[in-house]
Amino acid sequence: MAEKDEMDLRQDNPGRAWYVIHTYSGYENKVKANLERLIHTANMGNMIFNVVVPVEDEVEIKDGKKKVVPRKVFPGYVLVDMIVDEHSWYVVRNTTGVTGFVGSEKHPIPLTDAEAKRILKSMGEEQEHKPELDVAVGDVVRINSGVFENYTGTVSEIDTEKARLKVIVEETPIELGFDQVETL
């Protein structure tokens, strides 16, 4: 993600940061899948934004053939981009396979922006995939997460650079991510 966009996201969500969670050894991908499922089922998309198992591609030579295999950079750890409050902390902490946050028991310590960028850049994920949405101003969309879940509204603004849009629901403007709406 470009630095300006990252700064804008952090300003929009001042408590948002990357945190490191410890998992049972070998459970990193299961924890990622469990958290992604919980983000959807527990409507946590506005608090937990991204879950990453840090991996790097490594070239392995076996029987004289080169093979690129992913290698976990930090075995036993998963990165979570989130806003920590009591509820989001509880959801992540009680996910199957998670043993805890890095930091004190009740106060996880976030990575610095520089640390997070370095790790994501080494994985080739520094630029976050921006979801696409085939929608235009004036289109009606259904909100699929958050307080206004299952409400419909009319798109009034679209910011493709930030993957955000403004939707008018019952005369109230609401800013949402592309992943929080579906077209009708």
Per-residue pLDDT, 17: 92
pLDDT tens digit sequence for 11-41: 556 689 999 999 998 999 999 999 999 888 8
Mean pLDDT for all residues in the chain: 83
Residue 6 has pLDDT above 70, yes or no: no
Average the pLDDT over 47-61 and give the result: 87
Q: Say if residue 112 is in the same domain as residue 149.
A: no
Q: Which of 17-31, 38-52, 97-111 has the highest mean pLDDT?
A: 17-31
Query: Which among 70, 88, 122 is the end of a domain?
Result: 122
What average pLDDT does the segment 129-144 reach? 79
Domain edge (last residue) among 90, 122, 154: 122
Residue 134 is assigned to a structural domain of this protein:
no
> What's the total number of domains in the chain?
2
Q: Indicate whether 57 pLDDT > 50.
A: yes
Task: Give the model's pLDDT for residue 13.
Answer: 65
For the chain, give the secondary structure using H, E and C: CCHHHHHHHHHHCCCEEEEEEEECCCCHHHHHHHHHHHHHHCCCCCCEEEEECCEEEEEEEECCEEEEEEEECCCCEEEEEEECCHHHHHHHHCCCCEEEECECCCCECCCCHHHHHHHHHHCCCCCCCCCCCCCCCCCEEEECCCCCCCCEEEEEEEECCCCEEEEEECCEEEEEEHHHEEEC
Residue 24 within any structural domain of the chain: yes
Does residue 153 register a pLDDT over 50? Answer: yes
Tell me, yes or no, whether 62 and 115 share the same domain.
yes
CA distance 157 to 154: 9
Tell whether 177 and 89 lie within a shared domain. no
Is residue 133's pLDDT more than 80? no
| The token pair that represents 52 in the structure block | 């990453």
Residue 38 sits in a domain whose CATH number is 3.30.70.940
81 touches 39 (CB < 8 A): no
Task: Give pTM, 2 decimals.
Answer: 0.59
Amino acid 132: pLDDT? 66
Domain that holds residue 163: 140-183
Burial bucket for residue 79 (CB in 10 Å: 0-12, 13-18, 19+): buried
Collect all residues with Cβ–Cβ distance below 8 Å to 114 and sequence separation of at least 6. Answer: none
Residues 105 and 164 in one domain: no
Indicate whether 98 pLDDT > 80.
Answer: yes
